[in-house]
Amino acid sequence: MTAGTHDDMKNIGLIGVGLVGTVLARRLLSAGWRVLGYDIASDRRDHLKCLGGVVVGSPAAAADGVDYVLLSLPDTAIVRQVVEGPGGILEAGRLPSYVIDTTTGDPDETAGLAARLTQRGVALLDAMISGSSRQLDEGKAVLMVGGEKAAFDTCVPVLQVFSDHVFYLGPSGSGSKAKLATNLVLGLNRLVLAEGLVFAERLGLDLGSFLELLRAGPAYSAAVDVKGAKMLHGDFTPEARLKQHYKDVSLILRHAARTGQDLPLTKVHADILEKAIDAGEGELDNAVVINEIRRRRTR
């Protein structure tokens, strides 16, 4: 779709232009939105400008006078700072009607923030993205959303810019809860794929042929398509950084402890991710877990 002129374009704020935020910006611009963006890093601001976005000087400036603001940030603490801190969204001259937060964060804190924003006339949706930045770019990601149903209904046209698969899960925090449970399954699928490939390698199998076998058989999971080639070729160019998934897994374990549920496989996963970070691989794609499996040799 061709972008329109400034007069017929709708304005939207975007705060956070990392791997995911860059894709959000690109899809919005392609759909005819005028993106007013901010990131703390100057190189990311420059990249947004090259994409065709308008760079502004603060979260408040990104939110001023627009109906919608998108957040794509590392964690809940930074979301709170961006929304409620100095120069944050709540200091905008005219507050937005809707804040759509795609940050994988703490569900309880998200619900608390939503309640505080409601008092200011702003609706918060926790709109979690299941899928890597590449899957999002290809329109293959899934969105899981929590918040007031009326706000969700209004924001559906924005959400559908990113995916045709948009699910409403319930009250504020529900999207974040679903994302944690989804990431648990997704991360373990990826880890199992890495372990299976290393085992097949140690047995002397051709990994290319073995990957095709997995793709055709009952052991298949989407991880085979998304991460298989990256593991096979050692291509760990980040589409989803390992350190971010470690943050998610830590959050999963914290919430599991609150509910009294033991997650034995996820505890093992956390240890593997932690060791990979110690080995200097935290900034790489999370497919790099295969390296840590290879390092765990008995002889």
Packing angle, helices 242-259 and 174-202, rounded to 10: 120
Q: What is the pLDDT of residues 92-138, one digit of tens each?
A: 999 999 999 999 999 999 999 999 999 999 999 999 999 888 899 99
Q: How far apart are the first and last CA of the chain?
A: 56
CATH number of 178-295: 1.10.1040.10
With cut-offs at 50, 70 and 90, classify the pLDDT of residue 270: very high
Q: What is the pLDDT of residues 68-101, one digit of tens each?
A: 999 999 999 999 999 999 999 999 999 999 999 9
- Grouping H, G, I as helix, E, B as strand and the rest as coil, residue 24 is helix
Q: Which residues lie closer than 8 Å to 138 by C-beta, 6 or more apart?
A: none
Measured distance CA(242)–CA(298) in Å, rounded: 25
CATH number of 10-171: 3.40.50.720
Domain edges within the chain:
10-171, 178-295
Over 90: is that where the pLDDT of 3 sits? no
Over 70: is that where the pLDDT of 59 sits? yes
Pairs from 147-152 (Cβ < 8 Å, separation ≥ 24): 147/114, 147/123, 147/171, 147/172, 147/174, 147/175, 148/123, 148/172, 150/123, 151/98, 151/123, 151/124, 151/125, 152/125
Over 80: is that where the pLDDT of 58 sits? yes
Predicted model pTM: 0.88
Q: Which residues lie closer than 8 Å to 4 by C-beta, 6 or more apart?
A: 32
